[in-house]
Structure 1
Amino acid sequence: MFYLTGCLVALVAVASAVPTQFVSSPSVSLDGATVIGTTNGTTTRYLGIPYAQPPIGDLRLRLPKPVLPYKGVLNATAFGNQCIQQDFVLGPFPSNVPQAAQQYLQDFIAIPDVPQSEDCLNLNVVTPSGVTRQSKLPVLVWIYGGGYQHGSNAVEPGDAIVARSIQIGHPVIYVAMNYRLSAFGFLGGKEVKEEGVGNLGLQDQREAFRWVQKYISAFGGDPSKVTIWGQSAGAISVSLHMLANGGNNEGLFRAGFLESGAPGPYGDVLELQDTYDQIVTDAGCAPANNTLQCLRTIPASVLKAAMDKSPSFVDYVVRLLLAVTAYTQELTDSLASNDEDEGSAFAFPSLNITTDDEFSGYVSSNFYPKASGDEIAKILELYPANPAAGSPFGTGDKFAYSPQYKRISAFQGDWIEQAPRRLFVQQISGKQPVYAFLNKGGKVEGIGAAHGSELPNVYGGGGMADYLIRFATTLDPNGHGAFHWPQYTNENPQLLTFQDGSIPLKVGLDTYRSAPIAYVAKLSLTYPA
């Protein structure tokens, strides 16, 4: 059992050409029920379908249970409840942070206007209109990001992806599930480990995959052609499902698409005991003989209030409420990616760090507490204080919001995202086809190609969406005259690069910042966080 730092995700509402007027009429039969959806003539939505029993009452903080057979009429015309979110706010921005960057960062913590509830294990299915059980279309299963502390399948229901898949002649079906978050889904500590109820959010995702295998045929999908896909914490989830059970995916999916997320070197779940104990205390359960059982009996609002006092991914503190299980083998075709400036959004909580000594202490205490002084000194050497060397990259002395901001941005981006992704593709290359890309497009003034900046290229119907759709249907992102995306190998680590300007695509090598990224990867493996 391991734990992980959270990852930000931009909850962006992307405009698309899909008509927005949906009317009721389509339906499918599941077990003994009729499920009513809506259609706009191009795509058909079935929203808020329960895929597991509600994790309420004594089912709180337990493994998800399969949904009971459906009966009667199920109205799937509106989004289901989103899971309970952890509340947090961003601190005030320095006056020299551009408005575009401030707005982008505020969007990180935006939450749709959809009710929150523990009864939230539901999913959406979006199909091309008119499909039948005989259509047997490939299926894309989306896992949202949000640091395992917030996120919702109501952010982007997938109509743009399905509409685009129809346009390019590769129709797909889109599924997006909600899963439990923060203290409701990712508690750590010995009590959780002993009872075997860690990673409940990941277990929820897995249960949704099982639902797809059982029911997606009714919507016109082919359960043998499932690609799981996520961004940020969702991409980390994808990687962990790919690695789980020694690479045995139980026939639940055949491929994975990872946007800005890969498995990292995680410490034991027991590292989170202090956070568990604090939540127990704040929830009033400290006197109980069985504190975990006590957490199941208190009102959800009390547990949420205690959860909201715990560290969040926008805090200076790095450790969070996540326990994950990772293994050593991977046998699934995959696409993996990073944005150029992965750390620029993560670094704002650390603007109070202004000197070399403070940066050294920050790295030592928060990332490598067991590393030697010489090992930490090497970090300072590889990530110099010179703003021109920091992130957002290629901006010279601009956007140095503190004397250490761009340095921290570069280091954290590599520690959280770049080094794990590069190590991941290096490890699985040669075992199955792997494609990798770097996004330098969609830059935001002040933070560059920040974490999440590739999302409009996907959900807005850009070229990235076309590659994804072709990969989901044929296991090859290429074709139809598209710019060729070569496979990644360790001998020739070719990297497709998306960028702004007159040359939107090019192929380079995955060798950028090789020395610092390699050192971060090595040190992280030596001293798991």
Structure 2
Amino acid sequence: MLPLVVLAIATLKFCAVSAAPTSRATGPTVTLDNATFIGVSAGTVSKFLGIPFAQPPVGNLRFQLPQSLPAYNGTYSAIAFGPSCPQQAINLPLPSGLAANATDFIVNSIYNAVTPASEDCLTLNVVVPASTTPSSKLPVVVWIFGGGFELGGTSIYDGGVIVQRSIDLGEPVIYVSMNYRVSAFGFLASQEVKSAGVGNIGLQDQRLALRWVQQYIGNFGGDSTKVTIWGESAGAISVALQMLTNGGNAEGLFRAAFMESGSPIPVGDISHGQPYYDALVSETGCSGASDTLQCLRQVPYAQLMAAVDQSPGIFSYQSLVLAWVPRVDGVFLTDTPQNLVLQGSVANVSIVSGDCDDEGTLFSLSTLNVTTDAQIQQYLNTIYMPLASSTEIETLLTYYPADITQGSPFDTGILNALTPEFKRLAAIQGDLVFQAPRRFFLQQRSGLQPIWSFLNKRLKSLPALGSAHATDILNVYAGGDMTSYLVEFVNNLNPNGVGINWPAYTTASPQLLTFLDRLIPLVITQDTYRAQGISYLTTLSLKYPL
């Protein structure tokens, strides 16, 4: 269920090779255990890239929980990003007639493959101000990338932008990013997986990386008691789920959470992935095995990857109903994420959480053959809510009418209606997976912990897509105004200190910092739009998790 459009915005390129022993002794260095890691200087920042934080999840460690490494020894080159974890293939046929700039956004973001990829991929990166010493005790921001839990990696994100802004503001931070397993490699789902206790492996990878930060970030000059976890899309959902696991006990791993387009999502039991698991077993010749999970561990990588690529992806007809996604496994997630929120299983940390205005447009390009009222009813009842009654679907559609002036991209009148139902379905999908879960989460936690929320309405003029999913990431990694708010939040547990005042979010006063493409680029608005529709979607998602 959730995606990030992988944006090619990195400005610093390195060949993708994991940190490995070396005899070279130039560049900034850091000592971890009995090893020296040699990084690379980039102006006023130093980068240590491709540091392994877990044993390679290959061979019999495939589809296993991540395993810690023994103590480091020797000398390592840390000047290049490690390979990304195996990436699920993307298949998004572009509709004819789509405007050139919208096509450019899609091709240069979604199709920007994160390569090379390898099963041996569990590495992380640390970026620090060049003047940092082990006694600096700087706050730390840990980035978790998005990509629909199907793809993504760390190499396209230039953490130096974040660190440089923090230096410029006089509030320096340390930046960390980690790879984690995605697609079937990280989120294999079935009863077999649940019985073996190896569900949500990608989230477990993230958790181990956070423990690595606790153990080693002091060597880089960081303060392990001042860690903020931050992500976008699947990364933001991951941040939310890290808050919900373990009864809400953060184990001291982080003190704050910053989420862009992702909240506790309406997903159900891990057995909901059984059809995809069974297809994988069949396509790899493991159907006759007494232990199909063990058989999958022994399948040659190329053969397994080809089978995984046959799974429905985020740009398939079923869109945000993903094959490989975090689900209730009884270990990392003991109940549905939204039920855990209701139970109070939430880490008591400071929160920033927000969305883009048109979250659903990108994921409605694969359903342009849904063109009538009857077809959209069938689509919702078949794909999203097969257990819902026809009356419930009809009621939902009264809140999201066929009137194209009320659809997404919102506030664009009769424009962008690729089909009679495109804007309607885009509104429903964006609200169901992004807006409704965020509003539900924040309303449940209002008054219990510090909360700030935002809405990104920039790039509204992008044809067909509007303020689409992932457009807000430019506000951060391209050095936009959100970068400063992020740095303030990491330092002070409050995003204020730059720009206009960002009021806290409460149920009584649900205020949003809203980013606009106007002469006045920042305003405060209210989180009350589409109140009835979003409320009804929340009711349905609690009743019928995906």
Q: Per the alignment, do residues 112 and 75 of structure 1 end up closer, same or farther by CA in structure 2, a change over 3 Å counting?
A: farther
Report SS of the residue matched to 1:409: helix
Report SS of the residue matched to 2:471: coil
Q: CA deviation at 1:24?
A: 4.9
1:304 and 1:141 map into 2 onto residues whose CA distance is: 29
Partner of 1:320: 323
Q: Per the alignment, do residues 265 and 93 of structure 1 end up closer, same or farther by CA in structure 2, a change over 3 Å counting?
A: same
Q: Per the alignment, do residues 528 and 171 of structure 1 end up closer, same or farther by CA in structure 2, a change over 3 Å counting?
A: same
Alignment of 1:195-344 (within 5 A): 195-317=196-318, 318-324=321-327, 325=333, 326=337, 327-328=340-341, 329-330=345-346, 331-344=348-361
User: Normalized against structure 1, the TM-score is what?
Assistant: 0.96
Alignment of 1:508-519 (within 5 A): 508-519=525-536
Report SS of the residue matched to 1:228: strand
**1:11 corresponds to which of 7, 11, 27:** 7
2:4 and 2:172 map into 1 onto residues whose CA distance is: 30
Q: CA deviation at 1:373?
A: 1.2
Q: 8 Å contact 1:8–1:108 — kept in the other structure? A: no
**4+ aligned runs moved over 4 Å, structure 1:** none
Q: CA deviation at 1:11?
A: 1.8
Q: 8 Å contact 1:8–1:313 — kept in the other structure? A: no
Partner of 2:170: 169
Tell me the amino acid that sits aligned with residue 60 of structure 2: D
Tell me the amino acid that sits aligned with residue 210 of structure 2: F
Tell me the amino acid that sits aligned with residue 159 of structure 2: G
Unaligned runs of 5+ in 1: 17-22
1:70 paired to 2:101: no
Q: CA deviation at 1:15?
A: 5.6
1:165 and 1:258 map into 2 onto residues whose CA distance is: 19
Alignment of 1:148-187 (within 5 A): 148-187=149-188
Please give the per-residue CA displacement for 1:34-67, whole angstroms capped at 9, x wherever unaligned. 1000012311110000000100111110000112
Report SS of the residue matched to 2:436: helix
2:61 and 2:353 map into 1 onto residues whose CA distance is: 35
Percent identity over paired residues: 49
Tell me the amino acid that sits aligned with residue 261 of structure 2: S
Q: 8 Å contact 2:418–2:464 — kept in the other structure? A: no
2:201 and 2:400 map into 1 onto residues whose CA distance is: 37
Q: 8 Å contact 1:468–1:477 — kept in the other structure? A: yes
Report SS of the residue matched to 2:468: coil
2:246 and 2:537 map into 1 onto residues whose CA distance is: 27
Aligned-CA RMSD value? 1.4
Q: 8 Å contact 1:24–1:39 — kept in the other structure? A: no
**1:494 corresponds to which of 481, 489, 511:** 511
Report SS of the residue matched to 2:281: helix
Report SS of the residue matched to 2:456: strand
Partner of 1:504: 521
Partner of 1:416: 433
Tell me the amino acid that sits aligned with residue 320 of structure 1: A
Alignment of 1:471-486 (within 5 A): 471-480=489-498, 482-486=499-503
Partner of 1:367: 384
Please give the per-residue CA displacement for 1:174-216, whole angstroms capped at 9, x wherever unaligned. 0000000111110100000000000000000000000000001
Report SS of the residue matched to 2:280: helix
Tell me the amino acid that sits aligned with residue 496 of structure 2: N
1:191 and 1:231 map into 2 onto residues whose CA distance is: 30
Report SS of the residue matched to 1:323: coil
1:145 and 1:8 map into 2 onto residues whose CA distance is: 5
Q: 8 Å contact 1:42–1:129 — kept in the other structure? A: yes
Partner of 2:406: 389
Unaligned runs of 5+ in 2: 13-24, 328-332
Q: 8 Å contact 1:79–1:114 — kept in the other structure? A: no
1:445 paired to 2:452: no
1:465 and 1:412 map into 2 onto residues whose CA distance is: 28
Please give the per-residue CA displacement for 1:127-167, whole angstroms capped at 9, x wherever unaligned. 11121000010000000000110001001131101001100
2:113 and 2:289 map into 1 onto residues whose CA distance is: 36
2:79 and 2:214 map into 1 onto residues whose CA distance is: 22
Report how many residues are paired: 517
Please give the per-residue CA displacement for 1:86-108, whole angstroms capped at 9, x wherever unaligned. 0122113221x211111212234
Q: CA deviation at 1:323?
A: 3.2
Q: 8 Å contact 2:84–2:114 — kept in the other structure? A: no
Q: Per the alignment, do residues 298 and 14 of structure 1 end up closer, same or farther by CA in structure 2, a change over 3 Å counting?
A: closer
Alignment of 1:351-362 (within 5 A): 351-362=368-379
Report SS of the residue matched to 1:125: strand
Tell me the amino acid that sits aligned with residue 358 of structure 1: Q
Report SS of the residue matched to 1:347: helix
